[in-house]
Amino acid sequence: MKRIIVCVKPVPDPKHWGRVSMDPDTMTLRREVIPSIVNPLDKHAIEAGLSVRDSFGGEVVLLSMAPPSAQPLLREGLAMGADRAVLLSDPVFAGSDTLATSLILAAGCRYIGDFDLIFLGNMSIDGSTAQVCSQLAELLGLPNVMHVTGLSWTNEGKVIITRKIENGFSKLVGIPPLVLSVRKELNKPRYVPFTGILAAESKEIRVLSNNDLKIDPSQIGLAGSPTKMAGLEIRRFERKRERLEGSPEEIVRKLMDKIYQIGVI
């Protein structure tokens, strides 16, 4: 094995989702106002990459498209045991939809080069489109398997992939290079030892801009994204503050009528 790339996305920490807001001008999330975490499934993707490396050698490279503030999150993956990280960061990437994101990640993968496997999480907990894996594979011209729950290897270097399907599991045999996205059933992300945290401090995080990737700017960022938000409606929940009067029996009857009228029963 030469190289395994793991795509890692910073996402808003669910503990602070109550503070998430949208920018009404760009109709995108205001990500900078709340802390980020590594997308939970991406930790399973990192574990998958580390397990393959531990068995067959090579290096694990983390790849993220995110603002420079994502560096501490990449250090978490380096502390788990990844060898180095590449952060794709440039103001021209801001506002990218899933296609533009995949285009940027594909350029990052080509820049890193010489990879056998690319692991991703099956979906993020913020965008949750589950589109990036197959778009990335398509842009790189590689086979793609999603919903991966098991991996084993033949003596000839082929990968036996178990994937979750609607009513069970299917098994596929693949020959690297492959792009795989993983479910949480695949593995348990390893415990990060203190020595891992110390070692991560001296591992390389290379930050690349579009000067390095040279993607046509008209294909990326908000302007280059074919997904256009047509509108944004913020739902507001307010109590009606209605008071039902009468005897307990009358109140119950009125309450039942209201519940019936709003279609709950």
Ligand X SMILES: Cc1cc2nc3c(=O)[nH]c(=O)nc-3n(C[C@H](O)[C@H](O)[C@H](O)COP(=O)(O)OP(=O)(O)OC[C@H]3O[C@@H](n4cnc5c(N)ncnc54)[C@H](O)[C@@H]3O)c2cc1C
CA distance readout (Å), 68 to 21, 27, 40: 21, 22, 20
Closest separation in Å from C-beta 152 to ligand X: 22
Q: Return the amino acid letter for 73.
A: L
When computed from its CA atoms, the radius of gyration of the chain, rounded to whole angstroms, is: 23
Note whether 47 binds ligand X by CB under 6 A: no
- Give the CA count within 13 Å in the CB-facing half-sphere of 49: 37
Q: What is the C-alpha separation between 13 and 7, in angstroms, rounded?
A: 18
Note whether 85 binds ligand X by CB under 6 A: no
**Which of residues 5, 42, 148, 151 is near ligand X by CB under 6 A?**
42
Query: Cβ closer to ligand X: 65 or 159?
Result: 65
**Which of residues 36, 124, 187, 210 is near ligand X by CB under 6 A?**
124
Q: What is the C-alpha separation between 18 and 21, in angstroms, rounded?
A: 9
DSSP letter at 176? S
Query: Cβ closer to ligand X: 79 or 109?
Result: 109
Closest separation in Å from C-beta 201 to ligand X: 22
Query: Cβ closer to ligand X: 83 or 254?
Result: 83
Closest separation in Å from C-beta 127 to ligand X: 2
Query: Cβ closer to ligand X: 34 or 254?
Result: 34
**Which of residues 12, 36, 43, 64 is near ligand X by CB under 6 A?**
64
Contacts of 152 (CB under 8 A, 6+ apart): 159, 160
CA nearest to 10, candidates 43, 50, 48, 56 = 43
Q: Which residue ranges make up the site for ligand X (CB under 6 A)?
A: 7-9, 28, 31, 39, 41-42, 45, 64-66, 94-98, 101, 105, 120-121, 123-124, 126-133, 222, 225, 227, 229
